[in-house]
Amino acid sequence: MTETSPSESDFIKKLTAIVEENIANEQFGVSELADKMHMSRSNLLRKVKKETNLSVSQLISQVRLKLGMELLRAAKLNVSEVSHQVGFSSTSYFIKCFREYYGYPPGEVGKRDSNKQEPIPGNLPIAEKTNRKRSVMILGSASLIVALMAVLFFYKKLPTAQTRQVEKSIAVLPFKNDSNDSSNLYLINGLMESTLINLQQIKDLRVLSRTSTEKYRNATRSIPEMANELNVVYFIEGSGQKIGDQIVLNIQLIDGHNDNHLWAKQYRRETKDIFALQQEIAKDVAEEIQVIITPEEVERLEKIPTKNMEAYDYFLKGRQFLSYRNNLESAVEFFNKAIELDNKFAMAYADAAIAYYYIDIFKADKKYTSEIGDYSDKALLYDPKNAESLMAKAVYYMQRKEHELAIPYLERGLEYNPNSSEIIAVLADLYGGYVPNTSKHLEYALKGLRLNVGSTDSVTTSYTYLRLSNALAQSGFTDEALKYIDKSLAYNPDNPFSPHLRAFILYAKEGDLRHTRELLIKEFNKDSTRFDILQDIGKLSYYLGDYEGAYQYYEKFEAIRQHEKLDVYVHENLIIGDVFLKAGHKEKAEEFVESYKHYIDNEKSIYKSLGLASYYAYRHDTKKVVEYMKLAAKEENYMYWVVLFCDKDPQFESVTNIPEVKQALADLKKKFWDNHNKIKSTLEEKGLLIEK
C-alpha cells in the first residue's frame, strides 16, 4: 500500500484506499470512484480540488504511480509488468507519466536514492510538473542554499497553476480508424462528431468547429504548430475500432503549446453503451481542464437520442453525408431508415429536415417545404432542448422566407449549443441581409472567426474571413474589411467570392464605379457561370448610365435564372425591368416590375419602405416617394451598401432634389454613421478591431 501523508484527511485516505483496491482495473476512473464514494461527480471534483488542488483523475493517476514506484523498488517485476499491475494498459504511457511525475524513467528506480527522488509533498498539479522536475535537478547539483534560491527565483518567474489564467479552448482532431475494415469509418467519424457536439454544449469552453480540424486528418504538422495556427490550448486525439459488438476507443488530451500529454484513457464498451461512452468522454475531458458544467448542461449531455442501436447506426451514416454536404439524398435516405426503426428519434428528424433544406436551397420551385415542416415539428416535439431540433425549425421558416421567425429558434439553439459554428454562421448571414442588423451581423461574424479559425492552407478559414470582411464592410469599417478580404485571398487565392467582395470594398474606398465594374468583368471572364457577378455588372452599368451594356448583361443573367429555375435576386427585378424598358422590351419590363412589386409588398425587413419608394419613383408618383422615404428614414441598421448606392439609382434622379427626399436621405446616412460609431466604440473596448 502506498504511504499517505499525516496531513492528508480521512476523506483523501479513503479515496486512496478505494483506488488501490481497484488499481489493476484500467477502466476504474472518476465515475467509478464517485459511485464507490456515493457522491456525484461534481461534488467529488469540488471536494478533491479543495483538499489537494488536483482533479480527481490526477489524484487517481498519482496513486497508481506511487504504487508503481513501490513495486519497482521491490525489484520483483519489470516495468511492463508493473505498468499493467497499476492500471496502465500502455507501458510507454506509464513510462511517460512516471518520468513527468518523478523526474526520471521507471527503469532507473534501482539506480536512484528513492528517498531523495520522491515528488515534493503537496501533489503539484500537472501544469507545474515540468517546473518541479527542473527544481529537483537544481537541488541535486548545487548546495542547499543556492538550490533554494534558484527554486524561489524559478517559481517567481513562471506562473503556477493557481495564478495562470488560460482560456479554456479545445480542438477535437479527426479520429483514426484502427480497424482494417474501412466500412467502420463512419462509426469512428460519428464518435468524433458526437464527442465534439457534447463538448460544444458546455458554455465554459470554446470548442473549434469540425471544419477547423478536418484539414489535419492526413497532415504531418506537430501539435504546437496546430495550436499556433488554431489559437487553441488543448487538443483531443482519438482512435478506435469496432471488434464484434465492442467499441474500443483511445482518447488523449494534449497541451497544445508543449505537446505534453495530460491524460489518456482507453474506453471499451459494448455498442449498446455508445451513448454512455460519449457522455463519459465529455465529462472526463471537461474535468481534466477544470471546466464548469452546469446542471442543465449535464441533463442535456445525459439525454439518450435513441434506444435503437440499428437506428443510430443509420443516423451516423446519414450524418456522414450531411456533415460534408455530400450526396444529401443519401443522407435523407439513411435518416428515414433511422426514423422507421425509432419514430421518436428527434435528431434523425432534425437532420433530415436540414438535409431537405439544403437540397432545396437555391431552387425556385421548393419541393420539400412540407417535409421540412413536418420533420422539424417532430424533432421539437421529441427533444425541444436540442440545438439541431431548433435549427431544423429555423430552416423551415427560412425555406418559407419568414426569416424573422427563424431567428428566435437559432438564438435559443445557441443557448443549448454555444459553440455551434453552423448556427452562428446562419445568424451572421440572416443579420447580414434578410433581417438587417449591422451590429449583430458583425457580432456573429466575429464569433464565427473564433470557432472556425484555421491554418494557412485552409479553405474554410478563407470563407470565415470572407464572412467577417463582409460584416465589417456592411458596418462601414472599410479599412478593416479590406485587410480581412486580403487575408481571405491569402489563405485561399482560388476563393471565387473574395475578389467579388473586394471589388466593392475598393469602391467604398475609392468611389470609382468604372474600376469596380472592370474588376467584376475580369472575375466573370474567369467563370462565365457566375450569375451573381453578371447581375452586379448589369447593375453597375445601369448606375453608370450604360443602359445598352446593362441590358446585355441582364439578358444573360435572366437566361441563366430561367434555365436553372433559380429563386434569386428578385429584389433586383425593378432595375432589370427599367433596363429592359430602356432597351424597348416594354411587356417584359412590366413583368419584371410587377414581380418586384409582389416581392416588396410581402417584404418584412427594414428595406420595405425604401423598396416601395424606389417602385413609386419608377412609376413617377412623387407623393408616394416622399411618403415612403420618410418611413425609410426612421428605420435602423441599414447596410453600408444601401448608404453608398441609395442616391446612385437613375430612377431617383427626378426626386433627389425634393426637399423631403433629400432630408430623408441625409437622415438615413446620419443614422448609419451614428450606429457605426457606437459599434466602433464597443469593438475598441473589447479589443476586437484589428490594428491599422
pLDDT tens track for 156-199: 333 333 333 446 888 888 888 777 666 666 777 777 777 777 78
Helix (H) or strand (E) holding 310: helix 309-323
Three-state DSSP state, 8: coil
442 shares its domain with 544: yes
* Res 181: pLDDT: 65
610 shares its domain with 525: yes
Length of the chain: 692
Q: Distances from the Cα of 47 to the Cαs of 11, 311, 370, in angstroms?
A: 9, 40, 53
Assign 406 a pLDDT band (cuts: 50, 70, 90): very high
Structural domains counted in the chain: 4
In whole angstroms, give the CA distance from residue 111 to residue 95: 16
685 within some domain: no
Q: Which domain holds residue 259?
A: 169-301
CATH number at residue 111: 1.10.10.60
584 shares its domain with 508: yes
pLDDT at residue 431 greater than cutoff 60 = yes
384 shares its domain with 470: no
pLDDT tens track for 592-618: 999 999 999 988 888 899 999 999 999
Assign 309 a pLDDT band (cuts: 50, 70, 90): confident
In whole angstroms, give the CA distance from residue 15 to residue 60: 9
pLDDT tens track for 579-595: 999 999 999 999 999 99
582 shares its domain with 475: yes
CB atoms near residue 649 (< 10 Å): 18
Higher pLDDT, 260 or 676: 676
Cell 448589369, residue located: 538
Strand pairing report for 246-255 and 169-172: unpaired
611 shares its domain with 655: yes
Assign 361 a pLDDT band (cuts: 50, 70, 90): confident
* Res 159: pLDDT: 35
449 within some domain: yes
* Res 628: pLDDT: 94
Please give the model's pTM, rounded to 2 decimal places: 0.57
Half-sphere exposure of 322 (CA within 13 A, CB side): 27
Q: Distances from the Cα of 443 to the Cαs of 429, 434, 472, 612, in angstroms?
A: 11, 16, 10, 30
In whole angstroms, give the CA distance from residue 626 to residue 652: 11
* Res 495: pLDDT: 87
161 within some domain: no
502 shares its domain with 532: yes
Name, of 120-134, 378-392, 483-497, the range with top average pLDDT. 378-392
pLDDT tens track for 58-75: 788 888 888 888 888 877
Q: What is the mean pLDDT of residues 119-124?
A: 40
Q: What is the mean pLDDT of residues 482-488?
A: 92
In whole angstroms, give the CA distance from residue 513 to residue 575: 17
117 within some domain: yes
175 shares its domain with 119: no
Would you call 179 exposed, middle or buried from its count of C-beta atoms within 10 A (0-12, 13-18, 19+)? middle
Higher pLDDT, 255 or 89: 255
444 shares its domain with 400: no
pLDDT at residue 141 greater than cutoff 70 = no
Three-state DSSP state, 237: strand
Question: Which range is least confidently modeled, 176-180, 198-202, 391-395, 630-634?
Answer: 176-180
Picking from 246, 276, 301, the residue at the C-terminal end of a domain is: 301
333 within some domain: yes
In whole angstroms, give the CA distance from residue 235 to residue 172: 6
Higher pLDDT, 2 or 105: 105
CATH number at residue 525: 1.25.40.10
Nearest to 212 by CA among 452, 435, 373: 452
Higher pLDDT, 139 or 544: 544
Question: Which range is least confidently modeled, 466-470, 497-501, 664-668?
Answer: 466-470
Which DSSP state fits 260? E
